[in-house]
């Protein structure tokens, strides 16, 4: 499974055409991804056949939110679901920078859609407690960039999760370094496939990522 993160509607269409197995739709790459317009999701849902995962994040920065922002998150998830998103990506932390189990669980149950814990997870100091908290919250996947600097930790996280929840590596994964993750046994990879000086999404890079991913499964 190759999941491509996209930050504009054009790139989302291009990623699907280039062979992505699933697309994560966000807005504003510079902020690390925030909630996209529902119009994007509606347009994609009418035209592509692969799963659409939508970011639900009202702003960049820290992952603990005010009451008004929580309402915005809750309403945004319902709007994205109505527009055709099959899954949502979110992550709310408490004042201790730990997974806010009650809040995340409330949102996930309210929406009634599968949910991925995004890289708010990486802000948690105790990765293993955070895995347990994510499972209790009802997430089905965790996206983490911790493996970029510490592959051994990523391997330990995968073993600790023990199929209770899927760990997906992300954070700078490209065709030139994907083997590092494949050798650890990961068969789902997350990438923005951005290349070049201007860091633009490259359909050719998606093809290379997918080729190496599928070759590893032979």
Q: What is the spatial distance between Cα 148 and Cα 138, in angstroms, rounded to a whole number?
A: 26
pLDDT at 90: 98
Is the distance from CB of 70 to CB of 92 less than 8 angstroms? Answer: yes
Q: What is the spatial distance between Cα 172 and Cα 151, in angstroms, rounded to a whole number?
A: 13
pLDDT at 148: 82
Contacts of 114 (CB under 8 A, 6+ apart): 86, 87, 88, 140
Residue numbers in the chain where pLDDT is lower than 50? none
CATH number for the region 2-215 comes to 3.20.20.380
Beta-bridge mates of residue 200: 195
What count of other Cβ atoms lies within 10 Å of the Cβ of residue 138? 17
Tokens representing 28? 């504003």
pLDDT at 4: 97
Q: What is the spatial distance between Cα 127 and Cα 124, in angstroms, rounded to a whole number?
A: 6
Contacts of 218 (CB under 8 A, 6+ apart): none
Q: What is the spatial distance between Cα 12 and Cα 6, in angstroms, rounded to a whole number?
A: 5
pLDDT at 149: 80
């Amino acid at each position: 499974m190759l999941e491509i993160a996209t930050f504009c509607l054009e790139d989302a269409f291009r990623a699907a055409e280039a062979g992505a197995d699933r697309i994560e739709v966000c807005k504003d790459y510079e902020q690390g991804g925030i909630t996209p317009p529902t119009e994007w999701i509606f347009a994609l849902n009418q035209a592509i056949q692969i799963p659409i995962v939508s970011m639900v994040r009202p702003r960049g920065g820290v992952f603990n939110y005010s009451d008004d922002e929580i309402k915005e998150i809750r309403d945004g998830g319902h709007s994205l679901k109505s527009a055709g998103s099959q899954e949502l990506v979110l992550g709310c932390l408490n004042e201790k920078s730990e997974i806010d189990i009650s809040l995340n669980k409330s949102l996930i149950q309210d929406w009634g859609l599968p949910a991925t814990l995004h890289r708010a997870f990486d802000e948690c100091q105790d990765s293993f407690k955070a895995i347990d908290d994510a499972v209790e919250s009802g997430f089905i996947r965790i996206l983490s960039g911790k493996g970029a600097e510490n592959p051994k930790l990523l391997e330990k996280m995968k073993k600790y999760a023990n199929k209770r929840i899927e760990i997906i590596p992300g954070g700078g994964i490209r065709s030139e370094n994907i083997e590092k993750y494949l050798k650890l046994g990961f068969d789902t990879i997350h990438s923005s496939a951005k290349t070049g000086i201007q860091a633009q999404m490259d359909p050719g890079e998606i093809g290379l990522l997918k080729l190496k991913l599928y070759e590893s499964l032979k």
